Structure 1
Amino acid sequence: MSHVLYLTRNGLLEPLGQSQIWPYLRGLSTDYRITLISFEKLADQGDPVAMQKMCLQCVSHGIRWIPLQFRSQPRPWAPALAIPQLALVALWQWRRQPRPQLVHARSYVPASIALLLHRITGVPFIFDMRALWPEELITAGHLQRGSKLHRSLLWLERRCLQESSAVVSLTQAAVAYLMERYPRELAGQRIAVIPTCADLQRFQPAEQSPAGSLVIGCIGTVLSGWFLIDWLRAFFEAIARADPTARFELISRDAPAAILAALHPAPSWADRLLIKSAAPAEMPAIVQMHTASVMFFTGGLSKLGSSPTRMAEVLGCGRPVVANPGVGDVEQVVRQNRVGVLARGSSAAEMDVCVAELLELLQDPQLASRCRRTAEQLFSLESGTAAYRQLYTEKLC
């Protein structure tokens, strides 16, 4: 059985790790021996029950898990400071038998280690970009364009695109941009588009649609610097104007007090707003109870490579999305499949139009089945796992 070393700076225990790392590894473990190195947040490492449960799951699937401690400070240097630690652990794994025959690097920091291993040992690696990270950092205000760190990240991006055995992008939009920016480096390169997928066995439509008032949901972080929380406020206010009984649920690991301070809800709907966190196992039932789910992200170059995880999960539950253009392939998916509405701006008039379109869409009796069908066609875990398995097979032959 071929040995794959999987490197990620995301934690296996955090929601993203549970939805976008573990399901793939679980499926791939039937065909490959996998060693996983991840960075776990302190709160997750401090939960002995969750840690023990995850360890047992890894053992049951033959996955060797090495959890390192995640640090977010100091910004913007924290990711760079993780490189020496990850390099030492990864190099030590190379000395163990059986040696890895392929390295799967999830995002840029792990890719820097994969590039180092490749140059030292010749082991091939997959550059799983996820998104255009340097541009995301600039948009979020964590990185200055033209700075020494920015130039270093662009150098790393160029080298990984050229020297990796394959590149994985979340969106077609990002591939088009990269082909234009790096035509020489990507000449003849194997590029696979694998969007963020959802476990559609978990995220399924409810047996019965919820009755009563509209429940407008929003799931995931809203304080990342990439989320347009002012748009979210404007949309909630437009819903409140259209339906005084509508309720709002914001499910996030962000601190509720910090969300309230940033969202600043109006008194007219503040008492109908619920902000709470939830465990990954609770999310399908929560999404099922939402009438629609809102996801507004900064657009432009930084988001060409983004494929919101929450979109796959919401559509899997048969619920429509409310989004904005300029984020990866989101607009194309929404328009071509009629599974949501797009807000063109954050003004009251523009949001009123968006709400009117949503209320009209909700009258379509085929909406739920169309959302589910779109999720199955584009975002199923099975198709994503099969795409990764094909890449592994190609590069290990």
Structure 2
Amino acid sequence: MNVLYLSYDGLTDGLGRSQVLPYIFGLQQKGHTFTIVSFEKSVNFQKEESTIQKLVDDAKIKWVPLKYTSSPPVLSTIYDVYLLRKMVEQLHNEFPFHIIHCRSYITSLIGLQMQKKHNVKFVFDMRAFYADERVDGKLWNLNNPIFKTVYDYFKRKEIEFLGNADYSISLTKKGKDIIHSWAKVQNQPVPVEVIPCCADLNHFHPSRVNASRQTELKKQFGLTEDDFVITYLGSIGTWYLLDEMLDFFKILIQKRPNSKFLFVTTDNPNTILPAAKSKGVPSDRIIISPAKREEVPTFLSLANAAIFFIQPVFSKSGSSPTKHGEMLGMGLPVIANSGVGDVDRIIEDTKSGILVREFTNEAYEKAVSQIDELLNIPVSTLQNAAHKYYSLEEGVKRYSSVYERICSQ
């Protein structure tokens, strides 16, 4: 199939490297041909353009980078959509596409138009509930009439995308169930495939641990064999609950005085250390360090367990935390909160971690009391969970199946 892939995220963004290119490389190997149009942020583009260009050239993928416009709000997005529409029409005239694969909602505005105008198959890869995510993340204040108008517009378009797409992609089964419950969507039950944010389980694997570097890091961080280490991977950002994770860790220290909290993150330590201090967590129990991608498995190998708490809001019903698959792939049991995407279902189905159902000291104490049991989970059980739910190969297979189904209709 000849596929035009549209992404409002840049390939030079970390997200583009981890959640766009790996799938496309896999699909290309299955015989599909790709042209990618993405919106690139200037700083990232200057740093990473040559690296990404070599990757796509080697894979024989055509890449058309457009400049992302960041301001003024709303108007800048309208301008980007205008540029995208012009470029897509031009590309389709040069070399007609069978499928237009649209990552998230902005690019789907063009995908729906192309479907109606040129009868191109339209894949709505929604990622999450975009408009609700903007509100839940406090990026759109609905008391502002402009943002309320934009929110209402995208909620209407969401219904239109789902009702008209040849196939929609949800990151979670929970999201799929919500979509199928919406009476406003025409042609129910609409075709939806569940493909989570998959992890590169060849990279996130204990075999990628550098033993000598591991020894260096233990010395650098002052870790001993008696220490109990929990780790958090990635930036804190909008959605992750630093205060609640520190509250949990404070209870953990009370029960296991030898505990340390390792943050593998590029975030400024000043976003974490003051919060820890305010919670009464001693600074010598907190370790904060960035890691290059190739070193992340070695950093994670220092830990006994991993943790992430995410805001359990409606928009996160459609969210799939990539770090979950990466942690499981490394053989780390996970402590996570309930109410986020399919995390509850995955942990309960695979018995691969502890679910914290409330952000209370009582709930944290209950979770801490289960840690001995957590540490007895075989590594093979954890890695099998990663492969069952987060395998990149399985994700590629599902995307390819979607392409084949819609083109055989």
The reply to whether TM is greater than 0.5 is yes
Give the superposition deviation at 1:282. Answer: 2.7
1:200 aligns with 2:213: no
User: C-alpha separation between the residues in 2 aligned to 1:81 and 1:271?
Assistant: 49
Using the alignment, how far apart are the partners of 1:122 and 1:181 within structure 2?
Answer: 26
Aligned residue for 1:128?
A: 125
Shift of 1:143: 2.0
Deviates more, 1:105-114 or 1:289-298: 289-298
Structure 1, 310-319 or 349-358: larger mean CA deviation: 349-358
Of 100, 111, 116 in structure 2, the residue corresponding to residue 103 of structure 1 is: 100
Residues 93-131 of structure 1 show CA distances to partners (whole Å, capped at 9, x for unaligned) of: 2222x2221111011111112112223322111001111
Residue 112 of structure 1: aligned partner: 109
| Equivalent residue letter for 2:181 | E
Amino acid at match of 2:54: L
| Structure-to-structure mapping, 1:1-397, within 5 angstroms | 2-30=1-29, 31-47=31-47, 50-74=48-72, 79-96=77-94, 98-145=95-142, 147-182=148-183, 184-206=185-207, 211-224=225-238, 226-261=239-274, 264=277, 266=279, 268-362=281-375, 364=376, 366-397=377-408
Name the CA shift for 1:249/1:385 in 2 (closer, same or farther; >3 Å). same
| AA partner of residue 186 (structure 2) | E
Amino acid at match of 1:285: T
Instruction: Please report how far the alpha carbon of residue 73 of structure 1 lies from its aligned counterpart in structure 2 after TM superposition.
Output: 4.8
Note closer, same or farther for the CA distance 1:193–1:100 as it changes in structure 2 (3 Å cut).
Answer: same
For 2:221, the equivalent position in structure 1 comes to none
SS at match of 1:66: strand
Deviations 1:29-67 (A, max 9, x none): 1211101112233332231xx322221111111111122
Comparing 350-359 with 337-346, greater Cα deviation is found at: 350-359
Partners of 1:170 and 1:193 within 8 A in 2: yes
1:77: Cα distance to partner? Answer: 6.4
The one-letter code sitting in structure 2 at the alignment partner of 1:373 is: N
Question: What per-residue deviation string (whole Å, max 9, x for no partner) do you get for residues 269-319 of structure 1?
Answer: 322322233333332322233222211111132111111111011111111
Deviations 1:5-49, CA, capped at 9 Å, x for gaps? 1111222233322221111111111211101112233332231xx
Q: Distance in 2 between matches of 1:380 and 1:236?
A: 30
Say what the alpha-carbon RMSD is for the aligned residues: 2.4
Gaps of 5+ in 2: 219-224
Could you tell me whether the CA contact under 8 Å between 1:169 and 1:175 is conserved in 2?
yes
Paired AA for residue 269 in structure 1: P
- Whether the 8 Å CA contact 1:215–1:249 is kept in 2: the answer is yes
Distance 1:39 1:285 in 2: 33
| Structure 2 CA distance for partners of 1:157 and 1:322, relative to 1, 3 Å | same
1-structure distance, mates of 2:165, 2:308: 33
- Give, in whole Å, the separation in 1 of the partners of 2:113 and 2:20: 23
Look up the SS of the partner of 1:39 in the other structure: strand
How far is the alpha carbon of 1:155 from its aligned partner? 1.3
Query: Closer, same or farther in 2 for the Cα pair 1:4/1:216, shift >3 Å?
Result: same
Q: Which moved more, 1:272-281 or 1:150-159?
A: 272-281
Contact 1:15 1:280 in 2 (8 A): no
Is the CA contact 1:162–1:186 (under 8 Å) kept in the aligned structure 2?
yes
Whole-angstrom CA distance in 1 between matches of 2:46 and 2:120: 35
Q: Count matched residues.
A: 390
Instruction: Supply the distance in 2 between the matched residues of 1:122 and 1:307 (Cα, whole angstroms).
Output: 31
**Does the CA-based 8 Å contact 1:76-1:142 persist in structure 2?**
no
2:202 aligned counterpart, secondary structure: coil
The 3 A distance-change label for structure 1 pair 5 and 172 is same
How far apart, CA to CA, are the structure 2 residues paired with 1:69 and 1:312?
32
Look up the SS of the partner of 2:370 in the other structure.
helix
Percentage of identical aligned residues? 29
CA distance in 2, matches of 1:92, 1:378: 39
More moved, 75-84 vs 85-94: 75-84
Once the two structures are TM-superposed, the CA of residue 389 in structure 1 deviates from its matched residue by 0.6
- What is the TM-score with the length of structure 1 in the denominator? 0.90
Q: Do the aligned partners of 1:198 and 1:313 also contact (CA within 8 Å) in 2?
A: yes
SS at match of 2:240: coil
Aligned partner of 1:13: which letter? T
Quick one: distance in 1 between partners of 2:40 and 2:286?
31
Whole-Å Cα distance in 1 between the matches of residues 278 and 294 of structure 2?
Answer: 29
Q: What is the CA distance between 1:79 and its match in structure 2?
A: 4.6
